[in-house]
Amino acid sequence: MDITSNYFTSKQFNASKLSQSYYYHHTTSQTTSSSSPPFLHFAIALSQVTSTTKRLLKEQILTNILLVYLYYDRRKRNQDCCSCPTTTTVITSLEKNSMSSTTTLHATLLAGNVATHGYTLNIGFASISSSLCTSLQCSKTLLRQKIQKKGEMGDAAASIWSGSGVGSSGGTQSRIDGWGIQKKKRKCLEMRDMIDVISCINDMNQSNGDKGVEKRKKDAMSKIFSVVHHPDELRFAVKIFCNNMRTGATLVTVMRCLAAAHVLHKYNRINADMEEEEEEEVVIINENNNNNTYYFKVRPKKSNQNNRDCKSKIKQDIIHAQETFRSVYARHNDLKSCVVALVLGGMEGLLSACDVKVGVPVQPLLAAPSRSVEEVVLHYAENIPSSFAAVTSSSSSCGKGDDKGDNEENTVENRCITATNNTSENDASDDIPLLTAEYKYDGQRAQIHYQRIPSADDGGDDAQKEDMNILFFSRNLDNVTVKFTALVEWMKSRLQKLEMIRSFILDAEIVAVKRCCHQTNNGQGCSSSNAETILLPFQVLSTMKRSAVAAADELDMKRSSRNDDDDIELCIFAFDIIYLDGKALVEHVLIDRRKLLYQALSPIVQPGYFEFANSIDIVLNPTTDDLNSNSEAILMLESYLTKSIGPGRCEGVMLKSLYSKYKSSDTREKSGGFGGWRKLKKDYVDTIADSIDVVPIGAWRGNGRKNKWFSPFLLAVYDPDSGDFQSLCRCMSGFSDDFYKEKSIFYSNRLIETKSSVVSTNENPTFWFDPCEVWEIRGADLTISPVHHAGRGQMMGSAGEGISLRFPRFVRLRDDKAPEDATTGRQIIELFHSQSQRQNVMK
DNA sequence: GCTGTCTGCCC
DNA sequence: ATTCTGC
DNA sequence: GCAGAATGGGCAGACAGC
């Protein structure tokens, strides 16, 4: 019998027998001593996870295998202790770290997300497919065809492997038998092999200047590809390199499972201590007598009553552990240290070791899109906690800064309307603003960490700390400090004088600006009253160098024609504070956080360099059905939205309850409820959004779940002057599955052989369509494009090929229009000009 | 040294 | 970034 | 409402190949 099926489908799994039963039959003698789990079981588990759509079942399977990894982890720790009698009870922190790093790595591999562990591979479709062709000895064409058919490279590779006879004898035997009885004695592929290769590839990115890196990366992958024994091993090895597992479970789920496995592991140990004979037994039962459903529980004890109590206790513990882990990880976004703390210190260890800390990013709060001002107001009004029920007045007392200049509006006095330290009390009185609206700046999110350098008498390694003084993290929590060196220097100089501030973590948006000064003070900047900060679009920001090396290169060698970064002025718009002077503020409500932000950092505010996000506060009536009682709030929001996208030159507004905490992991408050942030942009709102009527002119074939359909589509505007269809963008968002089905049939009957002479684009889609329909789409901005041709020939000496659309999405079919009635190139140019005027980028 | 391709990461 | 879908 | 999946524009950076 196949031992994997034994493990995953039998009623019992005896972990004490791991060492004997856990490896391939035919390689037992070679691998018994290994401390790394076989890759096959990983692959089989993920294969099973992929083959169900049920989330609970996915979690059970993943918990199952993570439980095994925890056993491995502990067994290895025990071995290390035993083999070194003098340190039986003392494991150095280094060893501890490397141990649980392995667990972390196993978990990130299950999620197909080694980036979380700090690895960047810099390999993708091209190098993986090239390496596969070598290992499988197949042609590029064959692989491409298989990928088309399977919709995915890992599946394609597995399919080719199975059919090629490379690994199995094929023929009439089943797949499992095919690998199971294999004669050749090869090394069992282990998790460690995968980890070694990944770490090796990661290291190759460091050795810059070395020739032939691509080749060596391909060779490293081939090491794995050429020793697989089972198609699923190849399948998931490829998926890992692709960074896309498509199992229906990503890191979020894997972490839930890790927390669950930790609890089960702990219970199992307790049980084992009670009955030493059968140590480490976990029972997997199939209560529904349904082959697809598994439950974990500790081996049954004496009485049923006990057992039932125990079971519900475990269940509770699991839920608690999952919630705790999630919220801890949210404020201490360093998976390695969270897992180490959990595995070695349990829940207590996790909580004590992984608090908010300067230098470790906090998971940023994100905003859910909202479609109208009414929707927003209703949303927050509906969700006002009962402690605010006392607020009944409909009169509005805020927004008083609205008509004043930006700079005056940003003073502490105007902003700090209320600060209720004890919000759990039912002490809300009339006219307390519940909602705040902030400008949504079109820049780059940044979490700014600051730790004051200790003075010389404090001792310590100052030189090193100097480097870590200020850190910038991106929205995805990458360290982007080097990109913002100029801002770091500016902040350092400003903060040096602010001795009372020792540390903070800010939430902010960095925006490219043009500083207009009517009066300068010793070159440092502007006097507040006369200064104006003109916001520039995101594209300006995005042209900045990202590495110090590149910036130095540019400076020294002057080999680029691009503007030097010194020409790009940046402004920080701070809108939240997460940590201040040794204290985490994630449990503080926004109204208090904002007060602290203003108090602490007003001294460094300088227009065009460091500002607070523009905002207004709004009073809300608690109501569930009557919008009229909040009509004032609606009017205010409407005018503020208009202001933000007009004179404010922003994307729209952000909306936040002033009484919400900085926590995304309170599941109830994630994006809904009172605590969630919302965003309102012009292009979300039907009544004010521009829409564009375009003609589908081509498409590619979709990947993964869209494999049977055209996706994305290539869309074009019409230029009556030339009769051309000029591409505007690709589009893959906004289509329902039904629409995909319908249009896949529709357009497969309207394919044309080659690119039509009336089509103008730099794109080269797999399929060209006869332009015959009009679709309404929507997007955020128009940009000058290197690939799309919309408006071409009507531009006034601009760089690029034409104009394209940012964030395109399908809205609806316009069956009332013919292709010649589509939006014209000239109209696109007009839209572009009016937008550019708003954004101050035209000459 | 230039150009095209690939990758990752901003939005 | 946006959006749709199954749970 | 969450979690997952598929994929948008467009840039810098790193290579490879000429």
pLDDT tens figures, A259-317? 999 998 888 766 555 443 333 333 333 333 333 333 333 343 444 455 667 778 888 99
Q: How long is the CA A560 to C1' D11 vector, in angstroms? A: 15
Q: Per-residue pLDDT for A623 more than 80?
A: no
State the sign of the Cα–Cα–Cα–Cα dihedral A79, A83, A88, A90: negative
Nearest to A768 by CA among A699, A695, A694: A699
A:716-735 Cβ neighbours of strand D under 7 Å:
729-733
Asked if residue A561 keeps its beta carbon closer than 7 A to nucleic acid strand D, the reply is no
Q: How long is the CA A699 to C1' D6 vector, in angstroms? A: 15
Work out the percent of chain A whose per-residue pLDDT is above 70.
73
pLDDT in the model for residue A563:
58
Q: How long is the CA A799 to C1' D8 vector, in angstroms? A: 22
Q: Tell me the residue type at A81.
A: C
Asked if residue A538 keeps its beta carbon closer than 7 A to nucleic acid strand B, the reply is yes
Q: Per-residue pLDDT for A124 more than 90?
A: yes
Asked if residue A475 keeps its beta carbon closer than 7 A to nucleic acid strand B, the reply is yes
pLDDT in the model for residue A12:
34
pLDDT in the model for residue A28:
34
Nearest to A747 by CA among A809, A808, A701: A701
A:765-794 Cβ neighbours of strand C under 7 Å:
778, 780
pLDDT in the model for residue A41:
86
pLDDT in the model for residue A67:
87
Hey, what's the torsion of the CAs at A100, A103, A105, A110, to 10 degrees? -160
What's the longest Cα–Cα distance across chain A? 87
pLDDT in the model for residue A826:
97
Hey, what's the torsion of the CAs at A35, A37, A39, A44, to 10 degrees? 170
Q: Per-residue pLDDT for A558 more than 80?
A: no
A:405-464 Cβ neighbours of strand B under 7 Å:
442-445
pLDDT in the model for residue A559:
46
Identify nearest nucleotide to residue A58 by CA to C1′ distance.
C7
Q: Per-residue pLDDT for A843 more than 80?
A: no
SS3 state of residue A17: helix
Helix, strand, coil percent values for chain A (each to nearest 5): 45, 20, 35
A:457-516 Cβ neighbours of strand C under 7 Å:
475
Q: How long is the CA A466 to C1' D14 vector, in angstroms? A: 30
CB distance A193 to A38 below 8 Å? no
Enumerate the nucleotides of strand C whose atoms come under 7 Å of any protein CB.
1-7
Asked if residue A127 keeps its beta carbon closer than 7 A to nucleic acid strand B, the reply is yes
Nearest to A698 by CA among A714, A719, A711: A714
CB distance A708 to A671 below 8 Å? no
Q: Residue A783 — φ and ψ, nearest 5°?
A: -130, 155
Asked if residue A762 keeps its beta carbon closer than 7 A to nucleic acid strand D, the reply is no
Q: How long is the CA A130 to C1' D3 vector, in angstroms? A: 33
pLDDT in the model for residue A172:
34
State the sign of the Cα–Cα–Cα–Cα dihedral A317, A323, A328, A334: positive
CB distance A506 to A445 below 8 Å? no
pLDDT in the model for residue A433:
79
Q: How long is the CA A141 to C1' B3 vector, in angstroms? A: 26
Q: How long is the CA A705 to C1' D18 vector, in angstroms? A: 40
CB distance A654 to A594 below 8 Å? no
- How far is A333 from A576, CA to CA, in rounded Å? 18
Q: Tell me the residue type at A664.
A: S
pLDDT in the model for residue A45:
92
pLDDT in the model for residue A517:
74
Nearest to A300 by CA among A277, A324, A283, A322: A283
pLDDT in the model for residue A625:
67
Q: Tell me the residue type at A88.
A: T
Q: How long is the CA A98 to C1' C6 vector, in angstroms? A: 38
Q: How long is the CA A277 to C1' B8 vector, in angstroms? A: 53
Identify nearest nucleotide to residue A737 by CA to C1′ distance.
C4
Give the up-direction half-sphere exposure of residue A683: CA atoms within 13 A in the CB hemisphere. Answer: 19
A:644-703 Cβ neighbours of strand C under 7 Å:
679, 681, 684
Nearest to A732 by CA among A761, A693, A703: A703
DSSP H or E run through A9: helix A3-9
Give residue A98's pLDDT band: very low, low, confident or very high (50, 70, 90).
Answer: low
Give the up-direction half-sphere exposure of residue A754: CA atoms within 13 A in the CB hemisphere. Answer: 1
> Which of the pair, A480 or A797, is modelled with greater confidence?
A480
- How far is A614 from A645, CA to CA, in rounded Å? 13
pLDDT in the model for residue A170:
39
State the sign of the Cα–Cα–Cα–Cα dihedral A151, A155, A157, A159: negative
**Residue A573: C-alpha distances to residues A487, A495, A524, A570 (Å):** 12, 16, 18, 10
Nearest to A658 by CA among A390, A400, A402, A417: A417
Asked if residue A131 keeps its beta carbon closer than 7 A to nucleic acid strand B, the reply is no
Two tokens, residue A785: 């494009």
**Residue A422: C-alpha distances to residues A419, A433, A589, A759 (Å):** 9, 16, 10, 65
Enumerate the nucleotides of strand D whose atoms come under 7 Å of any protein CB.
1-16
> Which of the pair, A165 or A610, is modelled with greater confidence?
A610
Asked if residue A261 keeps its beta carbon closer than 7 A to nucleic acid strand D, the reply is no
pLDDT in the model for residue A757:
96
- How far is A375 from A381, CA to CA, in rounded Å? 10
- How far is A519 from A525, CA to CA, in rounded Å? 8
pLDDT in the model for residue A555:
61
Burial of A721 (0-12, 13-18, 19+ CB in 10 A): exposed
Q: Per-residue pLDDT for A704 more than 90?
A: yes
Identify nearest nucleotide to residue A241 by CA to C1′ distance.
B7
Q: Per-residue pLDDT for A92 more than 90?
A: no
- How far is A797 from A786, CA to CA, in rounded Å? 14
Radius of gyration of chain A (CA): 30
Q: How long is the CA A366 to C1' D1 vector, in angstroms? A: 15
A:617-676 Cβ neighbours of strand D under 7 Å:
667-673, 676
DSSP H or E run through A28: helix A28-31
Q: What is the pLDDT of residues A20-46, one digit of tens each?
A: 233 333 333 334 446 788 899 899 999
- Looking at the C1' of nucleotide C1, which residue has the nearest alpha carbon? A807
Beta bridge partners, A448, equal A472, A506
Q: What is the mean pLDDT of chain A?
A: 81
A:420-449 Cβ neighbours of strand C under 7 Å:
445
Give the up-direction half-sphere exposure of residue A551: CA atoms within 13 A in the CB hemisphere. Answer: 15
Q: How long is the CA A701 to C1' B9 vector, in angstroms? A: 25
Identify nearest nucleotide to residue A731 by CA to C1′ distance.
D8
SS3 state of residue A233: helix
- How far is A568 from A543, CA to CA, in rounded Å? 9
Enumerate the nucleotides of strand B whose atoms come under 7 Å of any protein CB.
2, 5-11
Each residue of A48-68: b (16+ CB within 10 Å) or e? bbbebeeeebbbbbbbbbbbb
- How far is A541 from A570, CA to CA, in rounded Å? 8
Number of neighbouring beta carbons within 10 Å of residue A292: 14
CB distance A598 to A575 below 8 Å? no
- Cα A572 vs. chain centroid, distance in angstroms? 23
pLDDT in the model for residue A208:
66
Q: How long is the CA A124 to C1' B8 vector, in angstroms? A: 10
Q: How long is the CA A121 to C1' C7 vector, in angstroms? A: 33
Q: What is the DSSP string of A130-158?
A: HHHHHHHT--HHHHHHHHHHHSSHHHHHH
A:150-179 Cβ neighbours of strand B under 7 Å:
none
Q: What is the pLDDT of residues A719-758, one digit of tens each?
A: 999 999 999 999 999 999 999 999 999 999 999 999 999 9
Pairing of strands A802-805, A782-785: antiparallel
- Looking at the C1' of nucleotide B1, which residue has the nearest alpha carbon? A559
pLDDT in the model for residue A713:
98
Q: What is the pLDDT of residues A639-658, one digit of tens each?
A: 999 999 999 999 999 999 99
Q: What is the pLDDT of residues A571-605, one digit of tens each?
A: 999 999 999 999 999 999 999 999 999 999 999 99
Q: What is the pLDDT of residues A642-701, one digit of tens each?
A: 999 999 999 999 999 999 999 975 544 455 678 899 999 999 999 999 999 999 999 999
Asked if residue A480 keeps its beta carbon closer than 7 A to nucleic acid strand D, the reply is no
A587-590: which pairs have CB atoms within 8 A and are 24 or more residues apart? A587/A661, A587/A662, A587/A663, A588/A661, A588/A662, A589/A420, A589/A423, A589/A658, A589/A659, A589/A660, A589/A661, A590/A436, A590/A656, A590/A657, A590/A658, A590/A659, A590/A660, A590/A661, A590/A662
Asked if residue A246 keeps its beta carbon closer than 7 A to nucleic acid strand D, the reply is yes
A:123-152 Cβ neighbours of strand D under 7 Å:
151-152
Q: How long is the CA A790 to C1' C1 vector, in angstroms? A: 21
CB distance A505 to A517 below 8 Å? no
- Looking at the C1' of nucleotide B7, which residue has the nearest alpha carbon? A122
- Looking at the C1' of nucleotide C4, which residue has the nearest alpha carbon? A736
**Domains located in chain A, CATH noted:** 23-167+177-250+280-304 (1.10.3260.10), 363-514+530-541+569-685 (3.30.470.30), 692-842 (2.40.50.140)
Q: How long is the CA A56 to C1' C7 vector, in angstroms? A: 9
A172-176, A395-399, A525-529, A682-686, range with greatest mean pLDDT = A682-686
Q: How long is the CA A818 to C1' C1 vector, in angstroms? A: 30
- The residue-averaged pLDDT of A539-543 equals 96
> Which of the pair, A104 or A310, is modelled with greater confidence?
A104
